[in-house]
Copies of this chain bind each other. A is one copy, B any other.
């Protein structure tokens, strides 16, 4: 927000931003404490109000920052892939990329979406609502249902696939939470993920069908 803040070393900026992210993630806006933020950031109380003028403005800065990052990642996704498993695979990878690049920002936005939408300014709330609605549309339109095996209801299969992928995402993020390193051997996780997706294809897509027509 303030140019004073923008002129700081990146590492100092991160210190402060991360401390603020964490505080606003574990507490609602109202209950978040600027005292704890400055304490964890390792700066004097006055500096926070020197950089950002108030708790409100600091919060707004964080919201805009994390929201911009989220939108950036979502826009990178190719939503036109008809093979829905490939589409979700790609979306999951982007999501996890975003998580790895800035976990604090990721958790912050998630926590707001879940618990504290009310404390957002109208503009940002609208922006988020729009983003959510648009994502929902892109998730479910243009799916090539002809790939699905014919003896299960496609809508049912789609939900089961989505829940499965969400389950893997959550599992992986929980495992990754401890790791501090930036880009650990993600390839092994991607292999693992791919294996799960291959299994989903095996069971939900028509394979080398044996329907008696041969």
Contacts and interface: CB of A to CB of B under 8 A. Distances in A.
B168 A163 contact: yes
A50 interface: no
Nearest to A153: B199
Secondary structure type dominating chain A contacts? helix
Nearest to A209: B210
A163 to B, nearest CB: 2
Contacts of A173: none
A110 interface: no
Interface string A117-152: 000000000000000000000000000000001011
Q: How large is the interface on A (under 10, 10 to 19, 20 to 34, 35 or more residues)?
A: 20 to 34
Interface stretch (A7-15, A75-83, A200-208): A200-208
Contacts of A199: 152-153, 156-157, 160
Interface string A78-91: 00000000000000
Stoichiometry (number of copies): 2
Interface string A161-191: 0111011100100000000000000000000
A212 interface: yes
B156 A160 contact: no
B152 A203 contact: yes
Given A157-B199, A160-B199, 17 more contacts: A151-B202, A152-B202, A153-B199, A156-B195, A157-B203, A159-B168, A159-B196, A160-B164, A162-B167, A163-B166, A163-B171, A164-B164, A167-B167, A203-B203, A203-B204, A210-B210, A210-B212
Interface of A: 31, 149, 151-153, 156-157, 159-160, 162-164, 166-168, 171, 195-196, 199-200, 202-204, 210-212
